[in-house]
Structure 1
Amino acid sequence: MTTQTLPEQGAAPYIAAVDLGSNSFHMVIARVVKGDIQLLHREKQKVQLAEGLNEELVLSEEAIERGLNVLRQFADTLQPFAPQSVRVIATYTLRRAKNSATFLRRAKTLFPFPIEVISGQEEARFIYQGVAHFEHFNGRRLVIDIGGGSTEFAIGEAAQPLRLSSRNMGCVSYGKSHFSQGKISARRFNRAIIQAEQELEPIVSSFRAAGWQQVVGTSGTIKTIRDIIQGFGWSNGPVDLTHLLRLQSYLLKFEHCQQLDLPGLTEDRKLLLCSGLSILIAAFQMLQIEQLVYIDAALREGVLYEMSDRMQHLDIREQTMQSLVTRYDIDQAQAGRVRATALALFEHVKDSWHLGEEEALLLGFAATVFEIGLHINSSGVQKHSAYILQNANLPGFNQEQQNLLACLVRFHRRKIRADEIPYFSLYDLPVVINLLVLLRLAVLLNQKRRDDFLPLFSAQAAVQQLQLQLPPSWLQQQSVLTADLVQEQKTLKKIAFKLDIPALQDLLNHVNPQLETDG
């Protein structure tokens, strides 16, 4: 696809999904026509990012450079696209690498689109959504996707996933640990299969209890295995365990992967075949799979469909928040008050602080669930709330969005420990601080948990400061709130933020003209 083929004003919108996988980087460009996705262009570049991940989970400089070089190429293709029309998802290797922040910082300098690192369960959800939208099926199905560093499993009905799991086993990582330098032997196969079975053990009971009527395989590893089996004429349709074991026996005739010359096996897949086959055999045996069909849709297609949904204002994150509200019996009335106040403050300051729709959504979400930790204990509620949000499965949220929610809720009251605010690739520190200030003020101003408590107010903002206008006559009647606002000024001053409340200053000066505040 070239820039000449991009749509004119008023035409169906073009969108792109980029999948930074552990083996390959993929890019898919599509357009949305009447709510449906038309795929227009695909690019795939072998990167083998997982190959550069050592035992200490540090990504090598060579692997980082391979990834950055491909991003440069993708950036050229995506040059005409607006940022909101492109979604970039990073999976296992950047999820696990201790120095992933280094990769993300360097990527920012040459790739103008934000990179979202997602959890394994979120990866499985996207894969399931890609399959569910690609081909309708009446009944429950199990979806398996063997990637370079992890393998995802999902069970669902129609568009609704019911079980999601990501296991730390992939064709690149297992190739490196079990079939090093491309060597093939029965012992290597047995060792790889046993380790994969051990990795699957924790999910076997749950998945088998859920049950399914169809098993679907996706992506390159399973496609290659299917193509080889069909190329040999062993099957013209589904793959079963006898086909997989027959292929294993055939491969044991060789001593090295480079000797393989099989129908459907490309050069770049030779070193990954044995490891991918071992994982698939283990899955068949542990989950008692009878047969599997291949569908040519996966994570990136799932991302495209979710982008289309958001364009139609159908955001799965809203469903996720409502699910948390119900599950943890959150006080919806108080959450509504805090959310309304936070978003009202946001409207006053968004232009000065250059905040957009995404920041408003995340602030609203944080206000919705800031008291989720009451489910554990009212003492230290902010810590309990942050723990739940940090560790819960939150469909629709990438890792940084989930970390930001946890961070905002963690410091919505009491001290702000600046050294505990995590590094964010997608959000600059001033943005995090500004959202935190808005949430803290919204919580503080609604401490009486009453609908008729707050008067009309306004706010103005500048860099690292906010001025809050409250009616002096109203503030005079709020002795506890007055003391809390004075303390809030002191707390924010410690992180170099100035909170100015003229009515508070006037009130304190009237009570004691010699008194100085931090306002």
Structure 2
Amino acid sequence: MPEAPIPIPTAIGSLHETVAAVDLGSNSFHMIVARIGDGHMQIIDRLKEPVRLGEGLNNEKRLLPEVEERALACLERFGQRLRGFPLGAVRAVGTNTLRQLHPDSQFIERAETALGHPIAIIAGREEARLIYLGVAHGLAAGTERRLVVDIGGGSTEIIVGRGFSARLRESLHMGCVTMNLRYFPDGRVSAKSMDRAELAGALEVRPVREIFRKSGWETAVGSSGTIKAIAAVATAEGWSEDGISAAALVRLRDALVSAGRVATLDLKGLTEERKPVFAGGIAVLRAVFETLGIEHMQVCDYALREGLVYELMGRHRHEDMHERTVLTLSRHFHLDQTHGRRVEATALSLYHQATAPWCLSDSRCPRMLAWAARLHELGLVVSHSQYQKHGAYLLRNADLAGFTRQEQVVLAALVLGHRRKFPVQEFAALPTGIQDCTKRLCIILRLAVLLHRGRSTDSTPNPTLQIVGDNLTLDFADAWLDAHPLTRLELEQEAELLKTAGITLTYQ
């Protein structure tokens, strides 16, 4: 049976395509369906449900059963709408609450079954980048430097960028749900509890306060449900004509404190759905306004899910953020890019020969193999000794724009396993569906790296690879091995190392 492919989103297939983006947030689950063509996006459907996922995360970092079932029921409804969408036309991501889930939790697997599509967990700064991408497309074109703020259920992203490029990105561990649970758990709001909540928010912003204050931003923009809800109330009450002013926020705060309880709050434009987390949202936004010196904030309708769609469009136009990130890493850490490309070419040649016997036909696998080939020497920036471990650590823990957490884990495993002892336990720790696939990609990478260890620009091994189960044979033409005795010795050593992975390697 073929192994499950590594869930890496691929480029969409044609110039006119219907695609979808799903945002599994800590407060609400959102989905948009869009028709794209000629570089434009037309949203044709929106779905949203207040799942309150963040409220169901217990101290063991597992979801309460009732919250998990609520989330899965929502995803099944989303899945019905997405039935028939091909792989690659749907991008689903999980954010703050799902980032915190215990590794042993089976929720993601159940969620993917309910939705019918892979779900990627993205890091906070990657979430910030995608939010900015969506906001930038939702605003009128301009050259000014923008500060973008997005308050979610469990985190708040702040970004400074210009045009479509985010220059500063940060994800803070506070959101409307988490703030509400901590400071307004019973629905009561007092001046004291609001002060404490705002102070806690200011402390979260404090480590990055100065760098954002000095970034030279000219306009402030808010996105997503919390900020849109606050703007709707401020406008309906006549406290702010356009967006949200600092003075309007003070009046909203005072109205909350005067009411004493969120349930009795009577404000124009405030929906019953938003009430349970409204106080927490006000506290977070007030903290951001005060700490970063914001006087006025305009509001944008676009956010993370729109950013996901534009990311899909960019991949179709060969503007894949993965490629930009790999190139940036290569340049920043002064990798030998010519050598990396030679290893990549040999690795892909071996991959194509392994495709049928090892069931590696999914088009996303060679992309991971190519990136690993180009980055396999990343750890040399730390030390030559055990540099595969240093490279794996960097790839696993760095903020890699465009990469999901699972993509980074897979990439790190490939780099860790490209030389020396085969890290069997590293692959055993991967999700079950991708263990064998990733292990086989790693074996291919090991062989490609070995064949180019001499770093000669004139050496073109080009062996034929034959595979029967776990038995590999490398056949070199024209007595190539006779002219490269060191490579023959290294292949002999490699055959011993691969035995721990259950692989038999022969060569001639």
Q: Check conservation: 1:240, 1:290, Cα contact below 8 A.
A: yes
**Taking structure 2 as the reference length, what is the TM-score of the superposition?**
0.94
Identify which of 350, 373, 376 aligns with 1:370: 376
Identify which of 237, 249, 264 aligns with 1:244: 249
- Answering whether residue 413 of structure 2 is matched by residue 414 of structure 1, we say no
1:484 maps to amino acid: E
CA distance in 2, matches of 1:266, 1:464: 61
**Pair 99,429 (structure 1): closer, same or farther in 2 beyond 3 Å:** closer
- Answering whether residue 449 of structure 2 is matched by residue 443 of structure 1, we say yes
For 2:7, the equivalent position in structure 1 comes to none
For 2:4, the equivalent position in structure 1 comes to none
For 1:23, the equivalent position in structure 2 comes to 27
Total equivalences in the alignment: 494
- Answering whether residue 228 of structure 2 is matched by residue 223 of structure 1, we say yes
Q: Classify the secondary structure of the residue corresponding to 2:356.
A: helix
Q: Check conservation: 1:154, 1:163, Cα contact below 8 A.
A: yes
Q: Check conservation: 2:209, 2:291, Cα contact below 8 A.
A: yes
For 2:178, the equivalent position in structure 1 comes to 173
Q: Check conservation: 1:58, 1:99, Cα contact below 8 A.
A: no
- Answering whether residue 437 of structure 2 is matched by residue 431 of structure 1, we say yes
Q: Check conservation: 2:343, 2:449, Cα contact below 8 A.
A: yes
**Pair 114,39 (structure 1): closer, same or farther in 2 beyond 3 Å:** same
2:155 maps to amino acid: S
| Structure 1 outlier segments of 4+, above 6 Å | none
- Answering whether residue 79 of structure 2 is matched by residue 75 of structure 1, we say yes
The answer for unaligned runs of 5 or more in structure 1 is: 1-8, 504-519
- Answering whether residue 67 of structure 2 is matched by residue 46 of structure 1, we say no
1:40 positional shift: 0.5
1:430 maps to amino acid: D
Any residues of structure 2 matched to 1:276-425 within 5 Å, and which? Answer: 276-352=281-357, 353-421=359-427, 423-425=429-431
CA distance in 2, matches of 1:150, 1:402: 21
Q: Classify the secondary structure of the residue corresponding to 2:33.
A: strand
- The percent of aligned pairs where both chains have the same amino acid is 39
RMSD: 1.7
Quick check: which has more Rg, 1 or 2? 1
**Taking structure 1 as the reference length, what is the TM-score of the superposition?**
0.92
For 2:125, the equivalent position in structure 1 comes to 121
For 1:493, the equivalent position in structure 2 comes to 499
1:423 positional shift: 4.2
C-alpha distance after superposition, 1:440-495 (max 9, x if no partner): 11101101001222333221334444332223722123332222212222222212
The answer for unaligned runs of 5 or more in structure 2 is: 1-12
Q: Check conservation: 1:328, 1:375, Cα contact below 8 A.
A: yes
1:247 positional shift: 0.8
- Answering whether residue 75 of structure 2 is matched by residue 65 of structure 1, we say no
1:17 maps to amino acid: A
Q: Which sits farther off after the overlay, 148-157 or 473-482?
A: 473-482
1:363 maps to amino acid: L
- Answering whether residue 98 of structure 2 is matched by residue 94 of structure 1, we say yes
CA distance in 1, matches of 2:366, 2:162: 33
2:476 maps to amino acid: L
Q: Check conservation: 1:59, 1:99, Cα contact below 8 A.
A: no
CA distance in 2, matches of 1:43, 1:405: 34
CA distance in 2, matches of 1:70, 1:280: 28
CA distance in 1, matches of 2:24, 2:432: 16
**Pair 270,359 (structure 1): closer, same or farther in 2 beyond 3 Å:** same
C-alpha distance after superposition, 1:296-315 (max 9, x if no partner): 00000000001011122221
1:101 positional shift: 4.2
CA distance in 2, matches of 1:320, 1:272: 36
CA distance in 1, matches of 2:280, 2:112: 33
CA distance in 2, matches of 1:424, 1:231: 51
Q: Classify the secondary structure of the residue corresponding to 1:439.
A: helix
